[in-house]
Every structure is written in C-alpha cells, then in structure tokens.
C-alpha cells in the first residue's frame, strides 16, 4: 500500500499530461491563425478560447479587470501533488469555469517570480480567485473542486448581477426583434 502511495504523485502527473498537451496544442493552433503583424493579448486569446490555461509569466492581472475572473494556481513546482490534483480537477470541468468568465492561470516557478506571484506572495501551493473588480476574493492552501469554486462564484454579488443582466437582456431581445 505504501509503495502505491509513493507512486501516486507520478501517476497523477502522468494522467495530467494529455490535458497539458491538449492545452499546448490549443495554444499553438490559436497562434497559427494570428496575423504575424498583429500580436494578440492574453485577454484576446482567452476570449477566442475560454478553456485555455495560461502561464503567469508576462501577464498583468489589470488587463482582466471587469472582463474576467482570474483563478491563479501557484505551486513551487509542476510536480507538486496539490498542483497536479488541482489541474486535473480544473481541466475536467473547465467549461463550467469558462461560463463564469474564469481565466485559469498557473505559476510554478518561484525562482523567476512573475508579477502575479510577487503581488500575491504564495507559500507553496495556493489557489487564488480574483473577482472582476481586481480584488483577491478567495485564497485556498489546498485544491478545490470546480463544483466548490462555481458555487462560491455563483454566490458572489458580481455573478448575481451578471445573471440578472443576462436575464433582462434575454427578455428584451424578443421585443427588439419585432
């Protein structure tokens, strides 16, 4: 039993590799259709495919204010078991996060701290959710399931306002069409 537990992080990471490869393929294919003279921002790339996962390096959270809810997953290395577990949980139901305007960002290189890491100062693994107004509204020292995250987001004032505005827009659309 102990030998199986020792191998668990490796098994989890190997299970995550196809998800990471798919994310890299999506990012590569998105770059292939970009006009060479036009560099897209991370926000533009996220709008084109809301299921992409971004690396924190060279990202500025300010570009997502009022546009998206950054969910930042920090770890001291990609081999961190909490990081591997969190990425599996997120990739299984990433469409649910995309529906709530969540952009997933990872940072696993404390030796070269990104601006996001410098701002949030995580210690080891940390999950941080930033609301659309730019405030950090949730910090967790252990992995969270997408179901827990979406419930938390759905209870927030900003999400409730979004849902209310969508309903109002949908009820107005038939009148506009007439």
Higher-confidence residue of 38 and 106: namely 106
* CA angle, 173 then 175 then 178, to 5°: 110
For residue 124, pLDDT over 80 is answered with yes
Mean pLDDT, residues 153-170: 89
Q: pLDDT confidence of 26, banded at 50, 70, 90?
A: very low
For residue 117, pLDDT over 80 is answered with yes
Query: What is the per-residue DSSP string for the chain?
Result: -HHHHHHHHHHHHHHHHHHHHHHHHHHHHHHHTS-TT-PPPHHHHHHH-TT-EEESTT--GGGGTTT-EEEEEE-SSTT-HHHHHHHHHHHHTHHHHHHTTEEEEEE--TTS--HHHHHH---SSEEEEE-TTS-EEEEESS---HHHHHHHHHHSHHHHHHHHHHHHHHHHHHHHH-
pLDDT at res. 7: 52
* CA angle, 5 then 7 then 9, to 5°: 90
pLDDT in tens, 31-54: 444 454 568 999 999 999 999 999
pLDDT at res. 169: 85
Residue 97, CA distances (Å) to 91, 150, 172 in order: 10, 7, 26
Structure tokens at 165: 């505005």
Rounded CA-CA distance 121/102 in Å is: 21
Nearest to 144 by CA among 124, 162, 129, 166: 129
pLDDT at res. 62: 96
Q: Residues near 67 by Cβ (< 8 Å), separated by ≥ 6?
A: 43, 101, 132
User: Which range (6-15, 29-38, 93-102) has the least confidence?
Assistant: 29-38
* CA angle, 4 then 13 then 87, to 5°: 125
How would you list the strands of the sheet with 102-107, edge to edge?
53-55, 102-107, 69-74, 126-130, 136-140
């Amino acid at each position: 039993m102990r030998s199986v537990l020792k191998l668990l992080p490796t098994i989890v990471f190997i299970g995550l590799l196809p998800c990471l490869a798919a994310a890299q393929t999506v990012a590569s294919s998105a770059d292939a259709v970009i006009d060479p003279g036009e560099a897209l921002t991370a926000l533009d790339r996220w709008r084109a495919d809301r299921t992409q996962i971004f690396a924190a390096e060279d990202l500025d959270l300010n570009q997502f204010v009022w546009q998206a809810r950054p969910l930042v997953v920090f770890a001291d290395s990609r081999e961190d078991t909490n990081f591997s577990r969190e990425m599996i949980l997120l990739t299984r139901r990433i469409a649910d996060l995309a529906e709530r305007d969540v952009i997933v960002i990872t940072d696993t290189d404390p030796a070269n701290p990104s601006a996001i890491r410098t701002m949030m100062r995580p210690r080891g693994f940390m999950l941080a959710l930033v609301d659309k107004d730019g405030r950090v509204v949730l910090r967790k020292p252990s992995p969270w399931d997408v179901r827990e995250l979406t419930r938390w987001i759905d209870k927030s004032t900003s999400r409730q306002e979004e849902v209310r505005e969508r309903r109002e827009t949908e009820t107005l659309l038939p009148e506009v069409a007439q």
